[in-house]
Chain A
Amino acid sequence: MQPSFCCSDFVIAYRRLHSVFKQGDVVVVEHAQYGKIIKRIITIENGGTLLLVGDNLAASTDTLTLGSIQPAQVLGRVVGQVSRSTRWCTNEGRG
């Protein structure tokens, strides 16, 4: 999610029971395969399902791989962030 978010950042994610999400929202999602992930909503499909994308396009798992997300899987929209400004995130290894 660089450059918007970096590893070791803290975020506050909040949702109400009937929260409505919109394109561009950063959300924390409970993904069936990847567990808790933080991504940005790129598209909301007609049925209300969400498509997600990472801000760091070159390194993010792609939208197709992540699949459609049901709104019920969204744990919350990110409404706050606390960064350690001097720290930079690195992706080690081949992945």
Chain B
Amino acid sequence: MLHNLISLYDKLVGIDTASAHCDIPCKVYDPITAQIATLSTVRFMDLINELASTETLSLADQAKLGRLVAEKEVHAEKVKHEIRIIWGDYFKQPQLDQFPNIHTLVHDIMLAGSACKQGLEREKGEKLLALVNEFAAAYWSTKKVATYTATSPYLPAEMIVYPKLK
């Protein structure tokens, strides 16, 4: 009852918020998970589009199509999830000062990820990959780790930003 009354007052007038600032201290963050999920998304787009060249889809093809679409959905969502975790849990004021546009970049990734779920156009996957690579480069820069760009040694053979760990 009292809590409800104070909540109402908070909504109407506003009470300062203090965070307990909890953070499971594993501190293990790596954008490669998001990058690989993006490559997978592009690959699923390619495989789906290959089926488009088939005159008629057999039952097996239809089953394959269903699976590819489902996996594309899962991996595009995984990209969004992984990026949100690094952005939300790792990026704090010093990193935000270093990359003040990171909020815009992450929002662009969210939109591009959704576009990949909605469509089959490869360009949408390529756009998502470019954004996620930009995010990865920013992340490694905050860790003072140099990066280089190389073609992934597997299909869809797209460019990936890797940390130069020596």
B-contacting residues of A (Cβ < 8 Å)? Answer: 1-2, 5, 7, 10-11, 13, 28, 31, 33-39, 54, 56, 58-62, 82-84, 91, 93-95
Q: Which of B47-55, B89-97, B135-143 is the interface stretch?
A: B89-97
Q: A34 touching B21 by the CB < 8 A rule?
A: yes
Return the chain A residue nearest B89 by Cβ. A95
A22 to chain B, nearest CB (A): 20
As a 0/1 sequence over residues 41 to 66 of chain B, the CB contacts with chain A under 8 angstroms (1 = contact) are 00000000000000000000000000
B6 within 8 A of A: yes
**Which of A10, A60, A62 is within 8 Å of B20, CB to CB?**
A60
Besides A10-B3, A54-B21, 5 other A-B contacts (C-beta < 8 A): A2-B20, A13-B18, A37-B18, A59-B24, A94-B24
A53 to chain B, nearest CB (A): 11
B91-130 residues at the A interface, CB under 8 angstroms? 92-94
Q: A61 touching B18 by the CB < 8 A rule?
A: no
Q: A61 touching B21 by the CB < 8 A rule?
A: yes
B6-61 residues at the A interface, CB under 8 angstroms? 6, 10, 15-26, 28-29
Q: Given A10-B6, A33-B92, A95-B88, A60 and B16 touching (CB < 8 A)?
A: no
Q: A35 touching B24 by the CB < 8 A rule?
A: no
B13 to chain A, nearest CB (A): 13
Residues of chain B within 8 A (CB-CB) of A94 are: 24, 26, 28-29, 85, 89
A17 to chain B, nearest CB (A): 19
Q: A37 touching B21 by the CB < 8 A rule?
A: yes
